């Protein structure tokens, strides 16, 4: 059992938990993830390690309530326990030797982009961050990202905060202005990562994408995170989650990802019905 020592509501659907898990914190590195179960009979889900504190023995996870399991997780409070919390899993990000990077996060992807930027910043690299959100109400980790870079650009689709623009447009403007990056790291919705890669390919800039958004089981057994990279079949959870973005077949991956939306919506609806029944009978 793993105790939640801190809980923060970042926006209406996104929550941050700091969990006591010394054995995970001891070995955790940027880019890796954990697999948890809320209860002993619950679904196993992978969540990226957003931060870690080796001294305190804690792991920070940030999640959006999009399905029954994340909704159940969000109901837990400080002092309560998560049944299983296994990790760190996945291959850590390869950050050695990077002197200048642009880290791009889209929405909840900023929770994964932040530890990458933080690690690079602490290693002495110059880091620019471009963070994109639909609207100001769902912006997360703005202060944390600001502390992990030299230049933070926040974009919103509706212009309610920061610049009204797409992250790809901001990236292209930086590249056109002559910025020379060793690498661009992009983490967010599949469509966003696809167009980041199309942009950087024109300028021959190495681009790494995190395929966390398509992970399901987290161990390679379910095959749900199968993707094609450079013509070869890979699994995001065991071969990644980081990949060369210019080699990923995004069109195929986007088509496959749409297969699960119906099941996620049905599971969430069942969870709401069960919760309403519990509240009615309380």
Domain housing 22: 2-89
Gap between the Cα atoms of 106 and 112, Å rounded: 10
Q: How many domains in the chain?
A: 2
Residue 133 has pLDDT above 90, yes or no: yes
Same domain, residue pair 159 and 222: yes
Query: Cis ω on the peptide bond leading into residue 40 (within 30° of 0)?
Result: no
**Which pLDDT belongs to residue 11?**
84
Please report whether residue 77 resides in a domain.
yes
Which one-letter DSSP state was computed for residue 212?
A: G
**What is the per-residue DSSP string for 68-123?**
HHHHHHHT--TT-EESEEEEEESPPP--TT--EEEEEEEGGGHHHHHHHHHHHHHT
Backbone angles phi, psi at 26, to 5 degrees: -60, -30
Computed over every residue of the chain, the mean pLDDT equals 87
Looking at residue 215, its pLDDT comes to 77
Compute the radius of gyration of the chain from its Cα atoms: 19
Beta bridge partners of 17: 7, 61
Same domain (yes/no): 128, 76: no
Residue 13's CATH number: 2.40.30.10
Instruction: Assign residue 222 the CATH number of its domain.
Output: 3.40.50.80
Shared domain check, 247 and 210: yes
pLDDT per position as a tens digit, 135-181? 888 899 999 999 999 999 999 988 888 788 899 999 999 999 999 99
Six-digit token string for 134: 């639909």
**pLDDT digits over 62-117, tens only?**
998 888 889 999 999 999 999 999 989 989 989 999 999 999 999 989 988 999 99
Asked which of 45, 63, 89 is the last residue of a domain, the reply is 89
* Rounded (10°) angle between helices 190-202 and 250-257: 170
Mean pLDDT of 25-46: 91
**In this structure, are 127 and 85 located in the same domain?**
no
- What's residue 262's pLDDT? 57
Beta strands at 151-156 and 126-133: parallel, antiparallel or unpaired = parallel
Element (H, E) at 217: none
| In-domain check, residue 269 | no
pTM of the model: 0.84
Q: How far apart are CA 211 and CA 227, in angstroms?
A: 9
In the numeric block, which tokens belong to residue 202? 């024109």
What phi, psi does 47 have (nearest 5°)?
-135, 140
Q: Looking at the structure, tell me whether residues 163 and 213 fall in a common domain.
A: yes
The separation between the first and the last C-alpha atoms of the chain, rounded to the nearest angstrom, is 27
Residue 121: pLDDT band (50, 70, 90) is very high
Residues 128 and 20 grouped into a single domain: no
Same domain for 142 and 67:
no
Helix axis angle, 190-202 relative to 167-176, nearest 10°? Answer: 10
Contact 111, 131 (CB under 8 A): no
User: Tell me, what's the pLDDT at 239?
Assistant: 86
Do 27 and 58 belong together in one domain? yes
Tokens at residue 206, please?
A: 């190495």
* Matching residue, tokens 């009979």: 41
- Cβ atoms within 10 A of the Cβ of 212, count? 25
Is the pLDDT at 282 greater than 50? The verdict is: no
Question: What is the tens place of the pLDDT at every residue in 182-214?
Answer: 999 999 999 999 999 999 999 999 999 998 877
Q: Do 83 and 104 fall into the same domain?
A: no
């Amino acid at each position: 059992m793993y105790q939640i020592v801190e809980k923060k509501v970042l926006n209406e659907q996104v929550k941050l938990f700091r969990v006591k898990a010394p054995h995970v914190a001891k070995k955790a590195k940027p880019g890796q993830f954990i697999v948890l179960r809320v209860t002993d009979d619950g679904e196993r889900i992978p969540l990226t390690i957003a931060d870690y504190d080796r001294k305190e023995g804690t792991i920070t996870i940030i999640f959006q309530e999009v399905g029954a399991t994340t909704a159940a997780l969000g109901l837990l409070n400080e002092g309560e326990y998560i049944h299983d919390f296994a990790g760190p899993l996945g291959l850590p990000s390869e950050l050695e030797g990077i002197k200048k990077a642009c880290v791009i996060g889209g929405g909840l992807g900023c929770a994964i982009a932040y530890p990458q930027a933080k690690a690079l910043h602490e290693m002495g690299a110059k880091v620019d961050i471009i963070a994109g959100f639909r609207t100001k109400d769902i912006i997360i980790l703005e202060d944390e990202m600001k502390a992990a870079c030299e230049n933070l650009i926040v974009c919103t689709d509706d212009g309610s905060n920061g610049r009204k623009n797409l992250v790809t447009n901001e990236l292209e403007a930086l590249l056109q202005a002559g910025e020379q990056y060793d690498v661009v790291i992009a983490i967010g919705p599949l469509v966003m990562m696809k167009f980041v890669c199309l942009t950087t390919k024109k300028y021959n800039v190495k681009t790494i994408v995190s395929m966390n958004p398509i992970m399901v089981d987290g161990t390679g057994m379910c095959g749900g995170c199968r993707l094609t990279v450079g013509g070869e079949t890979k699994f995001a959870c065991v071969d990644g989650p980081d990949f060369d973005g210019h080699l990923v077949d995004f069109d195929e991956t986007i088509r496959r990802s749409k297969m699960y939306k119906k099941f996620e919506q049905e599971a969430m609806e069942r969870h709401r019905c069960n919760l309403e029944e519990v509240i009615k009978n309380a």
